[in-house]
Structure 1
Amino acid sequence: MSTVSFDVTPPQAPGTTWRLGAELFLPAGDPPDTVQLLLPGLTYDRRYWTAPGALDYTRYAVGEGCAVLALDRPGTGTSERPPAEQVTVDSNVEAVHQVVTALRRGAPGVPAFRHVVAVGHSLGSGIALIEAARHGDLDALVVTGLLHAVGPLYPEAAPALYPAAEDALLGPAGPPENYLTTRPGRRAALYEHAAGMDPALSAYHEDTKSTVTAGEGFTLDAIYQPEVAAAVRVPVLLVAGREDRLFGGGEVSTGDAASVVAHERKFYTGTADLEAFVVPDAAHSLNVHRSAPSWYAAAHEWLARRGPAHE
């Protein structure tokens, strides 16, 4: 593992540069042709992908011979914290696009990769969708924790947030105005399926929370516009937690993969290559549940079969 950074120029703030932090994980030997770009969700940073033990997605991927870049999106983790109104869904998309370009060209400490696959969670999935639709420079998408229908817990997500400056964990770092995080204890209620959790992992989940900006919150609807998914032309794997009640349990059933594909097919009209995997005993935050390695295995089987490596 090596720590790297990327300087991006946001369209919302001409003349400025944001530095984004990341970790690059490479298997032994020569770097592979493909890199997975990991994009965490709302109130998460790159630590979502490095949960302890067998739940460490990066360790699993490297064990499969894959290269992965775990990115801290603008305003999270080790990345810079610009004014909240500048950190929107759109500025995230353009920042990610510049990272994708750097991965293809190579950058200090980062080899050049022929193929880039985005693996997102929730908001990170939505950012990857818009990036793929707008710029067409991704080779495949693994979309986790995001469907085109909300579940019964979705209305509770916004009230669960409060100023990060008031949070005992994040407040001492001095987060800017209108940076928000989850209230203590709300992550478990919204994002976890208790029967699929270990107490230590629930504690890890709480202790590694990050922020979301008001700018991101006000622009979330951009992700769900029908023209976005319709413009994606590359293979897509959808991954849903069977017990997810933010994006399941309502209009769309997460009971099995066929139901997920049947619902989402009417949105992903631009690709004929759409599959799904449902993670048992898992809610929205898939990677902190005991069953998470089941989707890691399914995603890598799918990538070997339908991703750039199969060409």
Structure 2
Amino acid sequence: MNSVTFDVTPPHAPGTTWRLDAELFLPPGKAPDTVQLLLPGLTYDRRYWTAPGALDYTRHAIGEGYAVLALDRPGTGASEHPAAEQVTVESNVEAVHQVVAALRRGAPGLPAFRHVVAVGHSLGSGIALIEAARHRDLDALVITGLLHAVGPLYPEAMPALYPATEDPLLAPTNPPENYLTTRPGRRAALYEHPAGIDPGVSAWHEETKSTVTAGEGFTLDAIYQPEVAAEVRVPVLLVVGQEDRLFGGGDASTEDAASVVAYEQKFYTGATDLEAFVVPDAAHSLNVHRTAPRWYAAAHEWLDRRCPARER
């Protein structure tokens, strides 16, 4: 594991830079041709991808021969925390685009990769979706925890947030004004399936929470616009928890992969192919559930057919 930083230019302020922190994981031996760019969701940072034990996605990915870059998006984790109104879905998209460019060309401490795949969760999935549609510099998308239909708990998501400056865990980090996080206890209620998660991992889930900005909250609708998914021109794998109550429901059933594809294919009209995987006994935050390794294995089987770790 190597620490990597990126200086990105926000779209609203061409003369300024934001520092983004990430961790680069490389398998032993020859550098892979393909890197996975991991993008965490709302109120998460890169630790989402390194859950305890067998739930560590990065360990699984490098075991399959892939390079992995786990990124702290703007305003999260160890990355710079700009003013909340500047950290929007749009500024996230352009920051990620600049990271993708750096992964392709290489940089000090960072090899150049032939292929870049984005693997997102929730808001991170939406950012990857817009980036792929606009810039067309990704080779494949793994979209987890995001559908074009909201579930019964979605209206409770924003009321579950409050100022990070009032949170016992995050207040000591001096978060800027209008940075928000989940109220104590609400994380489990919204994001977990109690029967599918160990208590110790649920506690870790609470202890590793991060922030979301008001700017991101006000611009979330950009993700769900039908024209975004329609402009994607690469293979897409959709991964959703069978017990997710933030997304899905009604015509957008999460009972099986065929139902997910049947609903979502009217949005991904330009994707070269569209597949889905439904994770049993898992809710929105897939990686903290005992069944998470099932989607890790399915995603890498899917990736190996489209963007293998090394050219054959």
TM-score (norm 1): 0.99
The equivalent residue for 2:233 is 233
The equivalent residue for 2:278 is 278
1:125 partner letter? S
1:61 partner letter? A
Q: CA deviation at 1:28?
A: 0.5
Q: Does 1:172 align with 2:172?
A: yes
SS at match of 2:159: helix
The equivalent residue for 1:20 is 20
Q: CA deviation at 1:108?
A: 1.5
Q: CA deviation at 1:249?
A: 2.7
Distance (Å, rounded) in 1 between the aligned partners of 2:252 and 2:286: 18
**C-alpha deviations, 1:278-301, integer Å up to 9, x for none?**
000000000000000000000000
Distance (Å, rounded) in 2 between the aligned partners of 1:190 and 1:12: 33
SS at match of 1:159: coil
Distance (Å, rounded) in 1 between the aligned partners of 2:172 and 2:308: 44
Q: CA deviation at 1:13?
A: 2.2
The equivalent residue for 2:63 is 63
Q: Does 1:88 align with 2:88?
A: yes
Structure 1 stretches of 4+ with a deviation exceeding 6 A read none
Q: Is the 8 A contact 1:140 1:308 kept in 2?
A: no
Q: Is the 8 A contact 1:235 1:307 kept in 2?
A: no
- Map 1:1-80; keep pairs closer than 5 Å: 1-80=1-80
Distance (Å, rounded) in 2 between the aligned partners of 1:75 and 1:108: 24
Q: Is the 8 A contact 2:149 2:249 kept in 1?
A: no
**C-alpha deviations, 1:99-120, integer Å up to 9, x for none?**
0000000012110000000000
Across the aligned residues of Structure 1 and Structure 2, the Cα RMSD in angstroms comes to 1.0
Q: Is the 8 A contact 1:150 1:250 kept in 2?
A: no
Q: Is the 8 A contact 2:34 2:307 kept in 1?
A: no
Q: Is the 8 A contact 1:150 1:251 kept in 2?
A: no
The equivalent residue for 1:117 is 117
2:18 partner letter? W
Q: CA deviation at 1:34?
A: 0.4
2:102 partner letter? A
1:287 partner letter? N
Q: Does 1:144 align with 2:144?
A: yes
**What count of residue pairs does the alignment treat as equivalent?**
311
1:101 partner letter? A
Q: Is the 8 A contact 1:44 1:210 kept in 2?
A: yes
Q: Is the 8 A contact 2:115 2:307 kept in 1?
A: no
Distance (Å, rounded) in 1 between the aligned partners of 2:194 and 2:13: 42
The equivalent residue for 2:224 is 224
| 5+ residue gaps, structure 1 | none
1:175 partner letter? P
Q: Is the 8 A contact 1:152 1:250 kept in 2?
A: no
1:6 partner letter? F
SS at match of 1:21: strand
SS at match of 2:263: helix
The equivalent residue for 1:305 is 305
Q: Is the 8 A contact 1:139 1:308 kept in 2?
A: no
The equivalent residue for 1:290 is 290
Distance (Å, rounded) in 1 between the aligned partners of 2:132 and 2:272: 15
Distance (Å, rounded) in 2 between the aligned partners of 1:242 and 1:251: 14
**C-alpha deviations, 1:80-124, integer Å up to 9, x for none?**
000000000000000000000000000121100000000000000
Q: CA deviation at 1:271?
A: 1.5
**C-alpha deviations, 1:229-250, integer Å up to 9, x for none?**
0000000000000000000234
Identity %: 85
Q: Is the 8 A contact 1:73 1:79 kept in 2?
A: yes
Distance (Å, rounded) in 1 between the aligned partners of 2:257 and 2:83: 40
Distance (Å, rounded) in 1 between the aligned partners of 2:129 and 2:308: 17
| 5+ residue gaps, structure 2 | none
- Map 1:199-210; keep pairs closer than 5 Å: 199-210=199-210
The equivalent residue for 1:184 is 184
TM-score (norm 2): 0.98
Q: CA deviation at 1:308?
A: 5.3
Q: CA deviation at 1:15?
A: 1.1
1:80 partner letter? E
Q: CA deviation at 1:272?
A: 3.6
Distance (Å, rounded) in 1 between the aligned partners of 2:206 and 2:248: 22
The equivalent residue for 2:130 is 130
SS at match of 2:303: helix
Distance (Å, rounded) in 2 between the aligned partners of 1:287 and 1:2: 22
SS at match of 1:158: coil
Distance (Å, rounded) in 2 between the aligned partners of 1:23 and 1:276: 28
Distance (Å, rounded) in 2 between the aligned partners of 1:257 and 1:155: 25
The equivalent residue for 2:197 is 197
